[in-house]
Amino acid sequence: MHDKRLKDILPQPVISLPSVPPPPATSSSSSRAPPSPSGSASQDINLDAEALLDEYTDTPRNVFGIFRRFYGSNLPIHDPERSVTLLTLSDIPRASPAQSTSSSATPSSSSVSSLSQLLVPSSVFYPYPNKSSFALGEWYWNGGAQKSQNEFKKLLDILSEDTFSLEDVGKANWLQINRQLAVNEWDEGEWVDEDAGWRRQSVIIQVPFHRYTENPGTRDYLAANFYHRSILSIIKDKLRNPHERFHYEPFDLLWQPSDDVEPIQLHGECYTSSSFKTAHMELQRSPREPGCLLPRVVVALMFWSDATHLTNFGNAKLWPLYMAYGNESKYERCRPSCNLLEHVAYFERLPDEFKDFATKYIGKGKKMDRDFIAHCQRELTHEQWRLLLDDAFIHAYQHGLVVECPDGLMRRFYPRIFTYSADYPEKTLMASIRQNGLCPCPRCKIPMAQAHLVGTKKDRKARLNSMRIDDLKRQSAISRSRDAVASKNYAVNSAYVEHQLKAESLVPTLNAFSDRLSKFGFNLFRMFAVDLMHEIEVGGWKNTLIHLFRILEAVDPNLLHELDKRFRQIPTFGRDTIRRFSSNVSELKQMAARNYEDFLQCAIPVFEGLLPEPHNSKILRLLFHFAHWHGLAKLRMHSDKTLAIQDNETTILGNNFRVFQAEVCPSFQTRELAREAAARNRRSQGQGSLTERGKKGKGKYSVKAKDGADGRGKPAENETNGDGAAGSGKFKENDANGDDANGSGKPKEKQQNGSEGNAKGKGKGKGTNKGEKENKNDEDKEAEAANLSGSTAAGPAPTSSASKGSSGRKPRSFTALSSYKGELEHRTPKGRYKRTSRKAVQKQLAQIERRQARIRRIREKVCSQASSTSASASAPEDGSITPTEHHHIGVTENFPQHIGALLRMHAQDPAIEGFFQKLKFHLLPRLQEILCAHARAHAHSLAAGAEDNGMELDPTRMYFKNDTMYRHNVMRIHYTTYDVRRAQDTINPNTDHRDVMFLADSTSHHQYRYARILGIYHVNVIYGGLVCGTVNYKVHRMEVLWVRWFEVVNDVAVGKGWTTGKLDRLRFVRISHEGAFGFADPNQVLRACHILPCFAEGQRHIDGKGLSHLAQDGKDWNVYYANRFVDRDMLMRFHWGLGVGHMYTRGQRATTASAVTRQPVSSDDLEMDNLDDDLEVNEINNSVIQDLQASVNNDDHGVVDEGAPVNGEGEEGDGGDDDEGDNEQEGSLEDDLDWDDDDGDDIQDLEFNAMYGETEDQFSYD
């Protein structure tokens, strides 16, 4: 029978709180039992912090064992989890997704695709005069800048509606409508509703000119017109409008898998974090506003900023600032269609005209210092932030903001800045520290020279004791430096300023966050979030990968070609999880962060065997732990146990990097790659004109020079005080040797020496190339490899650059604050840019943003007023594919495959041997379950005490309608992920997406079984025997997978791989073994899996010719790897028992697994006697098959193209033999044939055996 662990359990939200009507505002009850809603006036009166922590209420556990813990004596009235449905928890794409326009992202308030049934007054559509013009305007502005076929269909739907009127559209004044939609503060007129429109303010900075310039002193400079929105107005706009899933109060999310274990803390959302709870507790214990008894709520603000190019070519740039709310789920924030990221501002840089302004005061013939330019840019950035953190925001930060919420209750909201996500250069800019300075980290003061100690006890202790704090000491040092610059006309990089600030990598800039918020206890350094994309994937991992390329080239240049060849043979996975490595990976051209992530996930089999031992094993171990750490860091849901694993993995990864640096790197005399030499040569040529003006012998780049005068091969101006503006982007591994190829184009020696690079604090590895990061040049990008939690490693050594991301600090879930969301949101301004005239871009982008936001607001009003049609406002679903079903196989029967014809055409193929008997053996117990369930449903219950499994079906009474099975090309598997979401895998046996995994039985130590799907079929089965005393000739559609089984080479538990640092090795069962092929129930499939070839072991058939055409074994490799790092869910499936949504990992393992029909065993376990019997039968069958094939080939009926079950070309097969022949075959199934008693002269018996394999009497159905 089926393994009970394989029951598909749908995701469920946490148990919602009981619906309690809000009490009157004057109510005050001191009773604590039962808990009262948070709307009571007494909730926050005389709150004690200890009482808040001591008293709590737990909600019931859901089926996954998840529950919530609310602190305090009162439960909140507003429960956002009450509106969560399966669609909310589903990541399965729908065939025709509705256009989402609601900021709350709820299905009930999503866009209505048709307005024909909405009976609302025309005034609701203002400034559109009528319904038809609004529908057309919404399609144009919110349907995407580039109209696709789907958008064209939407337009046709609008035009074909009965209520659509061309006359109404013609009367609309479109120019006036668009102008009215884009009204902002600088325009005449006012929008009908109060909303957070855009402002335009001039930004003036003070430019200091030191005493050695022609005109020393401080000068005011009008830098730019700053386009931004009021943060407080955005918050008001959010809170006044419907926000069903906005959490007002924090809670602990706990997981208790069973009653006999203690609850485990889960981490993933901001509103379940300790930071949110601490902020909430501090707010509740703080003094109230005089005479105010309103509930107080924390509004968690999360900021993203990152400059980007608006076009692939040209210099159109934008530096947007996005804001989201930690009170909302990150699963909705990451969906652009939910519109949960607010566009707050478009930062301005110093204009090109600034140099003209500065030259007047510096004097002609004097060089403009880099530190001076960097200082002015910092001043401009923080001056813009001061405009954002205006007096209204500061007042709300201290006294709160009273808003009437959609539920009718008044609450006082307090904005708090929780996170700031950006790449490393922008973090240092916002933190007012130097890039790649002596203490390069924005969060701590770990020196650069100690960055390589990551994971050690010393490093962990230092990170705790060296956290950056915005204290009086820091503020005083900056104040003294600024006074010296402003009043004494010192240069920003003068000796006095350096003495004050250089030790902690500070700069003489008054930080806006410190200036405006430090008086409230806000520590600006704690807001900077981890950036896995820039700091790891295109930072540490990229630098490590490049040095591995150098090592391969040092051993043999052809090894890079072999590496590229292997990467091209890596199969794809998922919709876009692992993409095809079409180009040469070693060239790293046009690579984005997702490409480097794919390289890391698939690197182990690619690098295996390219280098000799023991270096090969050490590199593979490093790659394994790097991929493991990276996968843990990207989990969307952590628990205390997974955090402990990641903390331990941080130490292991650091140790492996130190081994790599100390033992592997010195063994190879590496040089820079050809692409690195070419890039350095281009940089040196670009500086040729500047170096001619400098003094000779300063180590300047020169096209003709071979050696710098100082032997360092580096521009003199780069030898600065450690500020990131200089010194980044130049390799410094072997500077002491004077091996400089400055401008010559010859590769420079690249010996791995991370300690020297760390001590000097300069010289990062090669940065990103064009197209990878749109707004960064090579030098800027190299500086982005900042640390994850404590220290930047500017040295080129992978030990310092990659392990820097491995924090000694306790890790946490990074995805809630990842920079990926900001990068994804860049698509929005890039799409809007196409609608502009390319002039005054910021202004036009602000206007387009208002148009789209206001149109969405009109849509929400339409939906709210048309209450009678609220049901139609739900997002449409694809009727054929729903998240509730475990899998989906099409109902079509366009590709029939006659069983007899299939067996005749492929009689010589070993994959077809025993095909029919295996199929019946697999379907028989499944049919028994169906028949018993059908009998009980129709009141034909079994006798008292009888059991279903006691009834045995007669295999001779099971028939296949028309002896035909129907082929399908695609199957979609739906599964519950580790973080209790619904996801989908697409299986296609004609592509790389054909490998799946099942649960193994108790005889195997390894918990999973793996198979390659050869065909997806369904059959129409009829049973003509008695079932519970009745005969039912009903046709039952049964779906089945024809698979080829893998076997685990080393049968060990999945957890063993974490300790050994190796992937699980697989191989195909020997093709001649009867267990090599079989059938599986689609309901028993866990999900798709990523099977990688073990390239080092080679292919099984050198000539590419195998034994089975159907199995295509000519392409087999001797050994495969099960890739446990392919995605987050797969990683947690190998952490057995730690995936919250993986219910099958709980409890004891079952003794049987009916998902399989044959248990594949090792080839050493085969019995030669059985093999001899099989060979004897095959000899008889082959002699008859040759005669039968001749007659089949002369008959038009039953001809099937070879390879039809797996070729996926879409040809429709014929129904097989004629009706008379089918009837004869069906009748033969009822015959009591005995192979042993037959003398072999009966051609019909031999024909049956040739078509269907062995007879029933030889095949056991026990």
Q: What is the mean pLDDT of residues 1043-1070?
A: 93
Q: Which tens digit of pLDDT belongs to each residue from 20-43?
A: 665 554 433 333 333 434 444 334
User: Per-residue pLDDT for 408 more than 90?
Assistant: no
Tell me whether residue 703 is in a domain: yes
Segment among 260-264, 317-321, 878-882, 1162-1166 with least mean pLDDT = 1162-1166
Beta strand 36-37 with 74-75: parallel, antiparallel or unpaired?
Answer: parallel
Query: Collapsing DSSP states into helix, strand and coil, what is residue 69?
Result: strand
Is there a single domain that holds both residue 1046 and residue 994?
Answer: yes
pLDDT-derived band at 335 (thresholds 50, 70, 90) equals confident
pLDDT-derived band at 286 (thresholds 50, 70, 90) equals very high
Q: Which tens digit of pLDDT belongs to each residue from 437-451?
A: 999 999 999 999 988
Report the C-alpha gap between 412 and 485 in whole angstroms: 43
pLDDT of residue 1017: 96
Report the C-alpha gap between 273 and 296 in whole angstroms: 18
Q: What is the mean pLDDT of residues 821-827?
A: 84
Q: What is the mean pLDDT of residues 464-484?
A: 94
Report the C-alpha gap between 466 and 504 in whole angstroms: 11
User: Per-residue pLDDT for 871 more than 60?
Assistant: no
pLDDT-derived band at 1096 (thresholds 50, 70, 90) equals very high
Q: What is the DSSP letter of 971?
A: E
Is there a single domain that holds both residue 896 and residue 1007?
Answer: yes
Tell me whether residue 356 is in a domain: no
Number of domains the chain contains: 3
Tokens of 414: 């307090």
Q: Which of 691, 722, 750 is the last residue of a domain?
A: 750
Is there a single domain that holds both residue 943 and residue 990?
Answer: yes
User: Per-residue pLDDT for 1042 more than 80?
Assistant: yes
Q: Residue 1254, exposed/middle/buried by CB under 10 A (0-12, 13-18, 19+)?
A: middle
* CB contact at 8 A, 307 and 317: yes
Q: Which of 750, 771, 787 is the last residue of a domain?
A: 750
Tell me whether residue 432 is in a domain: no
Query: Collapsing DSSP states into helix, strand and coil, what is residue 994?
Result: coil
Is there a single domain that holds both residue 1086 and residue 1071?
Answer: yes
For residue 161, the one-letter residue type is E
Is there a single domain that holds both residue 967 and residue 1031?
Answer: yes
* CB contact at 8 A, 77 and 39: yes
Q: Which tens digit of pLDDT belongs to each residue from 142-179?
A: 887 788 888 888 888 888 888 888 888 888 888 888 88
pLDDT-derived band at 817 (thresholds 50, 70, 90) equals low
Tokens of 1139: 């995936």
Tell me whether residue 965 is in a domain: yes
pLDDT of residue 637: 94
CB within 8 Å of 538: residues ≥ 6 apart: 593, 596, 768, 772, 773, 781, 784, 785
* CB contact at 8 A, 196 and 236: yes
Tokens of 790: 């404590």
Q: Which tens digit of pLDDT belongs to each residue from 1130-1144?
A: 999 999 999 999 999
Is there a single domain that holds both residue 1067 and residue 1081?
Answer: yes
pLDDT of residue 189: 62
User: Per-residue pLDDT for 701 more than 80?
Assistant: no
Report the C-alpha gap between 758 and 804 in whole angstroms: 11
Q: What is the mean pLDDT of residues 719-737?
A: 35
Tell me whether residue 137 is in a domain: no
pLDDT-derived band at 866 (thresholds 50, 70, 90) equals low
Q: What is the DSSP letter of 1023?
A: E
For residue 748, the one-letter residue type is K
Segment among 489-493, 580-584, 732-736 with least mean pLDDT = 732-736
For residues 567 and 1106, the model is more confident at: 567
Is there a single domain that holds both residue 1103 and residue 1161?
Answer: yes
The residues that bridge with 709 in the sheet, in sequence order, are none
User: Which one, of 1009, 1155, 1158, lies nearest residue 2 by Cα?
Assistant: 1155
User: Which one, of 29, 41, 48, 37, lies nearest residue 70 by Cα?
Assistant: 37
Q: What are phi and psi of 851, to 5 degrees?
A: -60, -50
Is there a single domain that holds both residue 1152 and residue 1027?
Answer: yes
User: Per-residue pLDDT for 617 more than 70?
Assistant: yes
Is there a single domain that holds both residue 759 and residue 737?
Answer: no
Tell me whether residue 362 is in a domain: no
pLDDT of residue 858: 86
Q: Which of 1169, 1198, 1215 is the last residue of a domain?
A: 1169
Q: What is the mean pLDDT of residues 508-513?
A: 96
CB within 8 Å of 943: residues ≥ 6 apart: none
- CA torsion through residues 1229, 1233, 1236, 1241, sign: negative
Tell me whether residue 792 is in a domain: yes
pLDDT of residue 1215: 37
pLDDT-derived band at 823 (thresholds 50, 70, 90) equals confident
Q: Which tens digit of pLDDT belongs to each residue from 358-378?
A: 999 998 778 888 999 999 999
Report the C-alpha gap between 1249 and 1258 in whole angstroms: 11
Report the C-alpha gap between 422 and 436 in whole angstroms: 16
Residue span of the structural domain in which 716 resides: 676-750
Tell me whether residue 23 is in a domain: no
pLDDT-derived band at 1174 (thresholds 50, 70, 90) equals very low
For residues 372 and 1250, the model is more confident at: 372
pLDDT of residue 298: 96
Q: Read off the pTM.
A: 0.80
In the chain, the percentage of residues whose pLDDT exceeds 70 is: 72
Is there a single domain that holds both residue 618 and residue 758?
Answer: yes
Beta strand 342-346 with 217-229: parallel, antiparallel or unpaired?
Answer: antiparallel
pLDDT-derived band at 1037 (thresholds 50, 70, 90) equals very high
Report the C-alpha gap between 1011 and 1078 in whole angstroms: 10
Q: What is the mean pLDDT of residues 720-747?
A: 39
User: Which one, of 828, 855, 848, lies nearest residue 112 by Cα?
Assistant: 855
Q: Which tens digit of pLDDT belongs to each residue from 887-907?
A: 999 999 999 999 999 999 998
Q: What is the mean pLDDT of the chain?
A: 77
pLDDT of residue 770: 33
pLDDT of residue 541: 94
Q: In which residue are the tokens 């604050």 written?
A: 817
Is there a single domain that holds both residue 1027 and residue 968?
Answer: yes
User: Per-residue pLDDT for 230 more than 70?
Assistant: yes
Is there a single domain that holds both residue 746 and residue 761?
Answer: no
What Rg, from alpha-carbon coordinates, does the chain have?
35
